[in-house]
């Protein structure tokens, strides 16, 4: 009986933790690509070449 209760409580704990883990909404992606940006200052020149 005592062991059974412990198991139920443990399952409750796991289930609650799993629910919490998905709590922050589920939309979006949010990868960190970790790639430094390059030189984009060139966009301010060559204005006649924007097709």
Partner 1 sequence: MKLKITLIAAVLLAAATACTTASQSDFAGMSFSDRPLTGKVIWNDLITEDLPAAKQFYGGLFGWTFEDGQADGSGAYIVARDEEIYVAGIRSVEPRQDGKKLTRWLPYVSVDDVDTAVERSKAGGATVAVEARNLNLGRVAAIIDPEGAVIGLASSSIGDPDDRTTSAAPGRVVWSELLSRDTVAASGFYRLLAGYDINVIERRGGLYTLLSNNGVNRAGIMPRPADNGDPVWLTYFGVRDPKAAAARAKELGGTVLLPPSPDVREGTMAIVTDPVGAVLVLQKVPM
CA atoms of 28 and 10, how far apart (whole Å):
32
Q: Residue 25 CB, nearest distance to partner 1 (Å)?
A: 5
Give ∠ CA 41-46-50 in degrees, rounded to 5: 105
Q: Is 1 in the site for partner 1 (CB under 8 A)?
A: no
- x/- mask, partner 1, residues 12-51, rule CB under 8 A, reads xx-xxx-xx-xxxxxxxxxxxxxxxxxxxxxxxxxxxxxx
Site of interaction with partner 1 (CB under 8 A):
5-6, 9-10, 12-13, 15-17, 19-20, 22-51
């Amino acid at each position: 009986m005592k062991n059974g209760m412990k198991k139920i409580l443990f399952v409750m704990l796991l289930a609650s933790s799993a629910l919490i883990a998905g709590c922050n909404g589920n939309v979006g992606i949010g990868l960190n690509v970790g790639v430094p940006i390059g030189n984009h200052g060139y966009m301010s020149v060559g204005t006649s070449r924007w097709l």
